[in-house]
Homo-oligomer: A and B are copies of this chain.
Amino acid sequence: MNKVGILGLGRFGRFWAKVLSHSYDVYGYNRSVPPEPNCTLVSVEELCRLPVIFICVPMRTVPEILRKISPLLAPGTLIVDTCSVKVEPVRWMNEYLPSEIDILATHPMFGPESAKEGLSGLPIMMHPVRMPFARYEEWARFFRALGLMVVEITPEEHDRQAAMSQALTHMIGRSLSVMGIEETPIGTLWYRKLLAICRQVEKDSPELFLDMQTLNPYAAAMRDSFERSWRSVCASLTDPAQRG
Protein backbone atom coordinates (compact mmCIF):
# COMPACT_ATOMS: atom_id res chain seq x y z
CA MET A 1 0.00 0.00 0.00
CA ASN A 2 1.15 3.53 -0.71
CA LYS A 3 2.08 5.67 2.23
CA VAL A 4 0.53 8.99 3.26
CA GLY A 5 1.22 11.26 6.19
CA ILE A 6 -1.03 13.41 8.32
CA LEU A 7 0.33 16.45 10.08
CA GLY A 8 -1.92 17.31 13.00
CA LEU A 9 -4.00 14.65 14.75
CA GLY A 10 -6.78 16.73 16.27
CA ARG A 11 -10.45 15.79 15.92
CA PHE A 12 -10.37 16.09 12.13
CA GLY A 13 -6.85 14.64 11.60
CA ARG A 14 -7.69 11.45 13.49
CA PHE A 15 -10.94 11.09 11.58
CA TRP A 16 -9.11 11.70 8.28
CA ALA A 17 -6.50 9.05 9.17
CA LYS A 18 -9.31 6.53 9.47
CA VAL A 19 -10.78 7.55 6.10
CA LEU A 20 -7.42 7.31 4.29
CA SER A 21 -6.58 3.98 5.93
CA HIS A 22 -9.09 2.32 3.58
CA SER A 23 -6.46 2.46 0.85
CA TYR A 24 -3.24 3.84 2.33
CA ASP A 25 -0.66 3.11 4.97
CA VAL A 26 -1.22 6.14 7.19
CA TYR A 27 1.47 7.79 9.31
CA GLY A 28 0.90 10.77 11.55
CA TYR A 29 2.63 13.41 13.59
CA ASN A 30 1.23 15.51 16.39
CA ARG A 31 3.00 17.71 18.94
CA SER A 32 1.41 15.78 21.80
CA VAL A 33 0.50 12.08 21.60
CA PRO A 34 -3.23 11.86 20.76
CA PRO A 35 -5.50 9.26 22.45
CA GLU A 36 -6.55 7.29 19.34
CA PRO A 37 -4.30 8.35 16.46
CA ASN A 38 -5.79 5.80 13.99
CA CYS A 39 -2.32 5.69 12.33
CA THR A 40 1.36 4.97 13.03
CA LEU A 41 2.97 7.84 14.94
CA VAL A 42 6.30 9.10 13.53
CA SER A 43 8.60 12.09 14.03
CA VAL A 44 8.04 15.21 11.94
CA GLU A 45 11.27 14.41 10.04
CA GLU A 46 10.05 10.91 9.13
CA LEU A 47 6.66 12.32 8.17
CA CYS A 48 8.32 14.79 5.80
CA ARG A 49 9.97 11.95 3.87
CA LEU A 50 6.54 10.54 2.84
CA PRO A 51 5.35 11.19 -0.74
CA VAL A 52 2.04 12.80 0.30
CA ILE A 53 1.29 14.84 3.42
CA PHE A 54 -2.12 16.11 4.52
CA ILE A 55 -2.01 19.25 6.66
CA CYS A 56 -4.69 18.96 9.36
CA VAL A 57 -3.46 21.56 11.89
CA PRO A 58 -5.56 24.58 12.96
CA MET A 59 -5.69 27.06 10.07
CA ARG A 60 -3.92 29.86 11.94
CA THR A 61 -0.88 27.64 12.51
CA VAL A 62 -0.50 26.66 8.84
CA PRO A 63 2.07 29.39 7.92
CA GLU A 64 4.29 28.42 10.86
CA ILE A 65 3.98 24.69 10.04
CA LEU A 66 4.80 25.28 6.36
CA ARG A 67 7.93 27.23 7.28
CA LYS A 68 8.93 24.42 9.63
CA ILE A 69 8.46 21.49 7.20
CA SER A 70 9.51 23.24 4.00
CA PRO A 71 13.28 22.49 4.36
CA LEU A 72 12.54 18.86 5.34
CA LEU A 73 10.56 17.95 2.20
CA ALA A 74 11.99 15.99 -0.74
CA PRO A 75 11.29 17.29 -4.28
CA GLY A 76 8.05 15.86 -5.65
CA THR A 77 6.33 15.65 -2.27
CA LEU A 78 2.63 16.47 -2.46
CA ILE A 79 1.30 18.82 0.23
CA VAL A 80 -2.48 18.75 0.65
CA ASP A 81 -4.18 21.24 2.92
CA THR A 82 -7.65 20.58 4.38
CA CYS A 83 -8.48 24.06 5.70
CA SER A 84 -12.08 25.32 5.94
CA VAL A 85 -11.04 28.46 4.05
CA LYS A 86 -9.05 28.31 0.83
CA VAL A 87 -7.78 31.63 -0.55
CA GLU A 88 -5.36 32.38 2.30
CA PRO A 89 -3.98 28.84 2.80
CA VAL A 90 -3.33 28.56 -0.97
CA ARG A 91 -1.45 31.86 -0.84
CA TRP A 92 0.59 30.58 2.11
CA MET A 93 1.41 27.28 0.38
CA ASN A 94 2.50 29.09 -2.79
CA GLU A 95 4.65 31.41 -0.69
CA TYR A 96 6.29 28.96 1.72
CA LEU A 97 6.69 25.76 -0.28
CA PRO A 98 9.59 25.46 -2.79
CA SER A 99 8.60 25.16 -6.46
CA GLU A 100 9.54 21.46 -6.62
CA ILE A 101 6.80 20.64 -4.07
CA ASP A 102 3.34 19.82 -5.46
CA ILE A 103 0.32 21.54 -3.92
CA LEU A 104 -3.29 20.36 -3.70
CA ALA A 105 -5.99 22.41 -1.97
CA THR A 106 -8.90 20.43 -0.53
CA HIS A 107 -11.77 21.04 1.83
CA PRO A 108 -13.55 17.93 3.06
CA MET A 109 -16.98 19.46 3.91
CA PHE A 110 -17.68 16.95 6.68
CA GLY A 111 -16.29 15.52 9.86
CA PRO A 112 -16.76 12.60 12.25
CA GLU A 113 -20.36 13.63 12.99
CA SER A 114 -21.72 14.20 9.50
CA ALA A 115 -19.93 11.08 8.24
CA LYS A 116 -21.54 8.87 10.92
CA GLU A 117 -23.85 7.33 8.33
CA GLY A 118 -21.04 6.90 5.81
CA LEU A 119 -19.22 9.12 3.34
CA SER A 120 -21.60 8.60 0.44
CA GLY A 121 -22.65 11.88 -1.20
CA LEU A 122 -20.65 14.12 1.15
CA PRO A 123 -18.86 16.95 -0.69
CA ILE A 124 -15.11 17.50 -0.88
CA MET A 125 -13.71 20.59 -2.60
CA MET A 126 -10.50 20.07 -4.64
CA HIS A 127 -8.27 22.44 -6.55
CA PRO A 128 -4.90 21.54 -8.16
CA VAL A 129 -2.79 24.54 -7.14
CA ARG A 130 0.44 23.18 -8.55
CA MET A 131 0.75 19.52 -9.55
CA PRO A 132 0.77 17.13 -12.52
CA PHE A 133 -2.73 16.46 -13.83
CA ALA A 134 -2.33 12.68 -13.49
CA ARG A 135 -1.52 13.01 -9.79
CA TYR A 136 -4.58 15.23 -9.29
CA GLU A 137 -6.78 12.74 -11.14
CA GLU A 138 -5.49 9.92 -8.95
CA TRP A 139 -6.71 11.69 -5.81
CA ALA A 140 -10.01 12.71 -7.40
CA ARG A 141 -10.55 9.04 -8.30
CA PHE A 142 -9.73 7.93 -4.75
CA PHE A 143 -12.19 10.39 -3.22
CA ARG A 144 -14.90 9.39 -5.71
CA ALA A 145 -14.26 5.72 -4.92
CA LEU A 146 -15.00 6.55 -1.26
CA GLY A 147 -18.42 7.79 -2.40
CA LEU A 148 -17.55 11.46 -1.91
CA MET A 149 -18.86 14.14 -4.26
CA VAL A 150 -15.78 15.89 -5.68
CA VAL A 151 -16.45 19.60 -6.21
CA GLU A 152 -13.83 21.25 -8.44
CA ILE A 153 -13.94 25.01 -7.87
CA THR A 154 -11.35 27.75 -7.38
CA PRO A 155 -10.28 28.88 -3.90
CA GLU A 156 -12.13 32.20 -4.49
CA GLU A 157 -15.35 30.47 -5.48
CA HIS A 158 -15.00 28.11 -2.53
CA ASP A 159 -14.60 30.94 -0.03
CA ARG A 160 -17.52 32.88 -1.51
CA GLN A 161 -19.82 29.85 -1.25
CA ALA A 162 -18.45 28.65 2.11
CA ALA A 163 -19.08 32.09 3.66
CA MET A 164 -22.75 31.89 2.67
CA SER A 165 -23.14 28.29 3.84
CA GLN A 166 -20.60 26.92 6.35
CA ALA A 167 -19.58 30.21 8.00
CA LEU A 168 -23.24 31.33 8.16
CA THR A 169 -24.32 28.02 9.72
CA HIS A 170 -21.59 28.33 12.34
CA MET A 171 -22.50 31.97 13.13
CA ILE A 172 -26.12 30.98 13.71
CA GLY A 173 -25.14 27.87 15.67
CA ARG A 174 -22.79 29.82 17.96
CA SER A 175 -25.37 32.56 18.50
CA LEU A 176 -27.98 29.96 19.48
CA SER A 177 -25.43 28.40 21.80
CA VAL A 178 -24.73 31.76 23.51
CA MET A 179 -28.51 32.31 23.70
CA GLY A 180 -28.75 28.97 25.49
CA ILE A 181 -31.46 27.23 23.46
CA GLU A 182 -32.65 23.92 24.86
CA GLU A 183 -34.74 20.84 24.17
CA THR A 184 -38.46 21.37 24.66
CA PRO A 185 -41.26 18.79 24.54
CA ILE A 186 -43.10 21.06 22.09
CA GLY A 187 -40.16 21.35 19.67
CA THR A 188 -41.19 21.13 16.02
CA LEU A 189 -39.20 19.06 13.52
CA TRP A 190 -37.66 22.30 12.25
CA TYR A 191 -36.66 23.50 15.71
CA ARG A 192 -35.03 20.12 16.31
CA LYS A 193 -32.92 20.70 13.18
CA LEU A 194 -31.87 24.10 14.53
CA LEU A 195 -30.97 22.54 17.87
CA ALA A 196 -28.93 19.84 16.09
CA ILE A 197 -26.96 22.59 14.27
CA CYS A 198 -26.31 24.36 17.57
CA ARG A 199 -25.13 21.19 19.34
CA GLN A 200 -22.89 20.27 16.39
CA VAL A 201 -21.25 23.68 16.10
CA GLU A 202 -20.52 23.57 19.85
CA LYS A 203 -18.34 20.50 19.18
CA ASP A 204 -15.96 22.36 16.87
CA SER A 205 -13.09 24.26 18.44
CA PRO A 206 -13.33 28.03 19.05
CA GLU A 207 -10.19 28.34 16.87
CA LEU A 208 -11.85 26.69 13.87
CA PHE A 209 -14.84 28.98 14.28
CA LEU A 210 -12.70 32.09 14.57
CA ASP A 211 -10.54 31.14 11.56
CA MET A 212 -13.62 30.37 9.47
CA GLN A 213 -15.01 33.84 10.22
CA THR A 214 -11.84 35.93 10.10
CA LEU A 215 -9.74 34.22 7.40
CA ASN A 216 -12.52 33.92 4.82
CA PRO A 217 -12.52 37.20 2.84
CA TYR A 218 -16.28 36.93 2.24
CA ALA A 219 -17.40 36.12 5.80
CA ALA A 220 -17.78 39.72 7.03
CA ALA A 221 -20.15 40.55 4.15
CA MET A 222 -22.15 37.42 4.96
CA ARG A 223 -22.52 38.52 8.59
CA ASP A 224 -23.63 41.99 7.53
CA SER A 225 -26.12 40.49 5.12
CA PHE A 226 -27.69 38.25 7.76
CA GLU A 227 -27.89 41.11 10.24
CA ARG A 228 -29.58 43.37 7.68
CA SER A 229 -32.03 40.60 6.78
CA TRP A 230 -32.85 39.87 10.44
CA ARG A 231 -33.47 43.57 11.07
CA SER A 232 -35.68 43.96 8.03
CA VAL A 233 -37.76 40.98 9.21
CA CYS A 234 -38.00 42.58 12.68
CA ALA A 235 -39.02 45.90 11.11
CA SER A 236 -41.73 44.16 9.06
CA LEU A 237 -43.38 43.00 12.30
CA THR A 238 -44.27 46.54 13.32
CA ASP A 239 -44.43 48.32 9.96
CA PRO A 240 -47.00 46.74 7.61
CA ALA A 241 -45.57 48.72 4.66
CA GLN A 242 -42.41 46.64 4.88
CA ARG A 243 -44.20 43.30 4.72
CA GLY A 244 -43.34 41.16 1.71
A74 interfacial by beta-carbon distance below 8 Å = no
In the complex, what residue of chain B is closest to A84 when comparing beta carbons? B188
How many whole Å from A204's CB to the nearest CB in chain B? 10
Q: Mark A183-206, 1 if CB is under 8 A from B, else 0.
A: 011111111011011001100001
Q: Which of A41-49, A63-71, A222-230 lies on the face that meets chain B?
A: A222-230
Choose from B107, B166, B189 the contact partner of A114 (Cβ within 8 Å).
B189
B197 and A173 contact, CB distance less than 8 A: no
User: CA–CA, A176 to B172, complex, Å?
Assistant: 10
CA distance A212 to B173 in the complex (A): 22
Closest 7 CB pairs of A and B: A114-B189, A178-B229, A179-B229, A165-B191, A175-B230, A193-B193, A175-B229
Which residues of A pack against B, CB within 8 Å?
107, 109-110, 113-114, 122-123, 125, 149, 151, 153, 158, 161-162, 164-166, 168-169, 171-176, 178-179, 181-182, 184-191, 193-194, 196-197, 200-201, 206, 210, 213-214, 223, 225-230, 232-234, 236-237, 243-244
